[in-house]
């Protein structure tokens, strides 16, 4: 727990933290209650941009969560058209990130990036199903060593106003490696290959880079869960 809270800050957060510290310092000379409030905001910014290390399962074929959050939806859906994966629905796992989750995104599975495309759009509530189609997004298609393909998508939300990514066509990526970040509250979708069942249930909490969403080598059917 302490390692997660006291984790290093992602480089994208440094300007925001610096601005918070400066504004808080200047406010202390004008009105101390305001400075106290700004100090709390600055601490939250530091917390939001934390970037903890994760223990990534390395067995070939495992699909890990691209983000911390809650599994919001598991539905059949057509991948984003910009990825050119056809119009056949695939199993889509949607993970919703609230403003208190770690927002650094990780590659779900290692392979070669076939397409990476950014698409501007709206800023609807990321919890809505139509956010996958209408919101600003960054979509990636990866070919894994056995030839199958997986898609994963960063989606901006109601509060989020910027998707950051460091990935492009032709990149060789590793499972669990950092590749981007979304500010401030968002969603990540993962599209599984045909015939691969999800190993998580709606309502489960995921840890980016650690929680296993699916296993390409498994013949297990989709898991069921209940609140206890």
Instruction: Point out the residues that are catalytic.
Output: 186
| Tokens 């009105």 belong to residue | 31
**Which burial class, exposed, middle or buried, applies to 2 when counting CB atoms under 10 A from its CB (0-12, 13-18, 19+)?**
exposed
What is the phi/psi pair of residue 167, to 5°?
-155, 145
Q: Distance between CA 148 and CA 172 in Å, rounded?
A: 15
Q: Distance between CA 104 and CA 74 in Å, rounded?
A: 22
| Tokens 């984003």 belong to residue | 80
Q: Distance between CA 117 and CA 176 in Å, rounded?
A: 20
Cβ proximity of 122 and 132 under 8 Å:
no
Q: Distance between CA 191 and CA 76 in Å, rounded?
A: 9
| Tokens 């993962």 belong to residue | 190
State the DSSP H helix or E strand holding residue 71, giving kind and residue range, or none if neither: strand 69-77
Residue 149, strand partner residues = 143
Q: Distance between CA 144 and CA 107 in Å, rounded?
A: 12
Q: Distance between CA 76 and CA 113 in Å, rounded?
A: 23
């Amino acid at each position: 727990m302490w390692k997660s809270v006291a984790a290093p800050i992602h480089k994208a957060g440094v300007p925001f933290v610096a601005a918070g510290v400066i504004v808080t310092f200047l406010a202390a000379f004008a009105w101390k209650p305001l400075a106290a409030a700004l100090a709390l905001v600055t601490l939250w910014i530091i917390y939001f941009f934390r970037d903890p290390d994760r223990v990534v399962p390395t067995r070939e074929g495992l699909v890990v969560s691209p983000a911390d959050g809650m599994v919001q939806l598991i539905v059949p859906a057509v991948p984003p058209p910009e990825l050119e994966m056809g119009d056949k629905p695939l199993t889509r796992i949607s993970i919703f990130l609230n403003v208190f989750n770690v927002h650094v995104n990780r590659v779900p599975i290692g392979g070669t990036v076939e397409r990476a495309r950014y698409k501007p759009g709206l800023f609807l509530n990321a919890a809505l199903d139509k956010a996958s189609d209408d919101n600003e997004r960054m979509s990636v298609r990866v070919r894994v060593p056995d030839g199958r393909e997986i898609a994963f998508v960063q989606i901006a939300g109601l509060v989020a106003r910027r998707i950051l990514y460091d990935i492009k066509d032709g990149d060789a990526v590793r499972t669990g490696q950092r590749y981007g970040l979304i500010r401030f509250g968002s969603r990540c979708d993962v599209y599984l290959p045909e015939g691969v069942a999800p190993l998580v249930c709606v309502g489960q909490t995921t840890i980016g880079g650690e929680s296993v969403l699916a296993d390409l080598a498994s013949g297990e059917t989709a898991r069921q869960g209940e609140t206890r």
